[in-house]
Structure 1
Amino acid sequence: MKRPTAGAGGRVHHDNQTSLSLYDETAQAAAAAVLDKYSTSFGAGTRLLGRHMRTHIRSIYAMVRVADEIVDTYRGEDARAMLDGFEHEVHAALDSAFSANLVAHAFALSARQVGIGRDLTEPFFASMRRDLDTTKHTQASFDRYVYGSAEVIGEMCLAVFLNTQTGPRELPAQVREGARRLGAAYQKVNFLRDLAMDDGELGRSYFPGVTAANLDDAMLATLVDDCRADIRAAEACLPALPRRARIGVTTTVDIYSRLLRRIERIPAQKLCSTRIRVANPIKAAYAFRNACPGISATRRVA
């Protein structure tokens, strides 16, 4: 039997290239299914992207979601070993461009095409490991956690938006900072939405000094203002994105800004027992408005 030989970039040349392409497509379809099942907010924005960008964002989301499910949903005694094993699969796929794990394979395909490396994936997995044993954060540990769990994800998405057509290249520093701020904002909004579950079911307190028991209206207002400042900083960088990417990101910004306004209006202690949502028809309306610039409508900024 003829053995396949390694080609440029670690990719393997097969006699049957159709089979390898089919495997790539299957992995990407698996990643798309993960996003479709788990997130209507990001799904709404992703559907507005061009085909290749959409595929890359779905693959990033799927990788992040699998790691998150290990630490938040599975939580078995071997969760750390399982997370370490998944990280190894992701990094091995980055090196070899192939993985038996479909999600790792899909992520590696996208990462190699747009220039996502271990400088972003390693901080992400480090933050995921902190969820296995950190229950309360100092400001310093909170900042490190948010960087790895959210800011690097924003930078991964920016690499997709700016490098899908060109291939890997260095990202502009100012726009990269905006992407990180947006990732941080989304993470913090999710912390507020999930405060009751994090504090009760998972026994975690993300915001330093804030728990479901002591959250008051003044604390909540401060946290909302912090999220809003991140979103505004990120919005200033939106003009640097390609049009389709700008439309998609703007839609997710609109959704999270609406979440933030609803969180702002609810009494702090009620927030601790209620998970705020944005209805799917409203998400669809944001997507439609942003995709159709001729429609007369005024966006509400964060």
Structure 2
Amino acid sequence: MRAHSTIPQRADPRPADPNLAADYAECRRINARYGRTYFLATRLLPPPRRPSIHALYAFARVADEIVDTPGPDPTTALTELDLALKGALTGEPVSDPVLRALTDTVRRHDLDPALFADFLASMRMDLTVTDYPDFAALARYTHGSASVIGLMLLPVLGTVVPRADAAPYASALGTAYQLTNFLRDVGEDLDRGRVYLPADELAAFGVDRERLARARETGTRDPAVRRAIAHLVAHARSVYRLAEPGTALLDPVARPCVDTATRLYSGILDEIAAADYDVLNRRAVVSGARRLSVALPGAARCVAARFGLLRRRGPARAA
């Protein structure tokens, strides 16, 4: 198995170029501000691997901002972002620090540019598609918005098996995180004119967009909506279970990071259940105390994993 591993041997060394270091620092700032769960989990990675995670998050955040807080012409803004990224990847100079850091990350880890094309395709869907008839239709969106994120991260995290063997689990975990977002943000998405919950799944409980909107506007607790959300929470948990075996396929020093992120993100589902599945009148968040209770054991596992790696390498190489 070790002969087929794809663990980075010199993963993400800190950039010598001070300008590039500043670009990565900007990505880190964006991650720290907007992605608290991801940022906390990323702190459990060895420091040299963190900048690439920050760059990938920051790029996704830039695209999200175009879609969720659109200016006068979000379609053009996404097209310009797409063209700027393609240009950067082919060697054209760019002024945006996020794109410069992302380009460096893509080159360091030999990331497939097609993953970014798929991601931006899903972002464009957000400008025109307002609901999804079933899970099959939703999967076309979550492939680009979530599954490919897991695939982008794999080369950064490293695996102890051929990357292709770990890819289905990484893809499923990205989808599980996205489904969790959908359930947490039902009310906010509805305010933006979008419903990401499959229409046929809602209809099985007598729920449609109008019923969701009415419950949102009036602040009432609709039993039918509650049952539909409980059903979809159970589905999201099943996707987490599908993804679970993938953590053991990662580089040991990356496992605490992914395990912690998964515990924190799936914890949002626990909070939804604790609120009796009320996602229209409140936003489920994991408390600071629980975040700490999850992160501290993760930090301990992280230290143990790094210590084990140093022992395997031996004193001379560890120095």
Structure 2 portions without partners, runs of 5+ = 1-14, 203-208, 214-221, 304-319
Deviation, structure 1 residue 132: 0.8
Aligned to 2:60: 64
Aligned to 2:252: 243
Q: 2:98 aligns with which of 103, 119, 125?
A: 103
**Structure 1 position 185 matched with structure 2 position 194:** no
Q: 1:261 aligns with which of 247, 250, 270?
A: 270
Q: C-alpha deviations, 1:272-296, integer Å up to 9, x for none?
A: 111000123322321111221499x
State the alpha-carbon separation in 1 of the partners of residues 166 and 18 from structure 2: 35
Aligned to 1:6: none
Aligned to 2:226: 217
Q: 2:157 aligns with which of 148, 155, 161?
A: 161
Q: Tell me, what secondary structure is at the counterpart of 2:86?
A: helix
Deviation, structure 1 residue 52: 2.2
Aligned to 1:271: 279
Amino acid at match of 1:234: A
State the alpha-carbon separation in 2 of the partners of residues 22 and 50 from structure 1: 21
Q: 2:129 aligns with which of 123, 129, 134?
A: 134
Aligned to 2:291: 283
**Conserved in 1, the CA contact under 8 Å of 2:256 and 2:301?**
no
State the alpha-carbon separation in 1 of the partners of residues 71 and 291 from structure 2: 35
Deviation, structure 1 residue 131: 0.6
Q: 1:195 aligns with which of 183, 186, 194?
A: 186
Structure 1 portions without partners, runs of 5+ = 1-18, 296-302
Aligned to 1:22: 18
**Conserved in 1, the CA contact under 8 Å of 2:180 and 2:266?**
no
Deviation, structure 1 residue 68: 0.2
Deviation, structure 1 residue 222: 2.0
State the alpha-carbon separation in 1 of the partners of residues 176 and 125 from structure 2: 20
State the alpha-carbon separation in 2 of the partners of residues 247 and 194 from structure 1: 27
Aligned to 1:206: 196
State the alpha-carbon separation in 2 of the partners of residues 265 and 284 from structure 1: 19
Aligned to 1:13: none
Aligned to 1:231: 240
Amino acid at match of 1:242: D
Q: Tell me, what secondary structure is at the counterpart of 1:236?
A: helix
State the alpha-carbon separation in 1 of the partners of residues 260 and 246 from structure 2: 15
Moved more, 280-289 or 129-138: 280-289
**Conserved in 2, the CA contact under 8 Å of 1:49 and 1:244?**
yes
State the alpha-carbon separation in 1 of the partners of residues 190 and 257 from structure 2: 32
Query: When the two structures are superposed, what TM-score results if normalisation uses the length of structure 2?
Result: 0.79
State the alpha-carbon separation in 2 of the partners of residues 107 and 281 from structure 1: 33
Q: Tell me, what secondary structure is at the counterpart of 2:139?
A: helix
Deviation, structure 1 residue 97: 7.0
**Structure 1 position 152 matched with structure 2 position 148:** yes
Deviation, structure 1 residue 218: 2.6
Q: Tell me, what secondary structure is at the counterpart of 1:267?
A: coil
**Conserved in 2, the CA contact under 8 Å of 1:56 and 1:160?**
yes
- Runs of 4+ off more than 3 Å: none
Q: C-alpha deviations, 1:147-171, integer Å up to 9, x for none?
A: 00000001111121117xx9xxx95
Q: C-alpha deviations, 1:240-298, integer Å up to 9, x for none?
A: 11122100011111111211112123334x32111000123322321111221499xxx
Query: When the two structures are superposed, what TM-score results if normalisation uses the length of structure 1?
Result: 0.83
Q: C-alpha deviations, 1:168-199, integer Å up to 9, x for none?
A: xx953331110011100111101111100101
Amino acid at match of 2:128: D
Deviation, structure 1 residue 83: 1.1
Q: Say if 1:294 and 1:234 are closer, same or farther in 2 by CA, change over 3 A.
A: closer
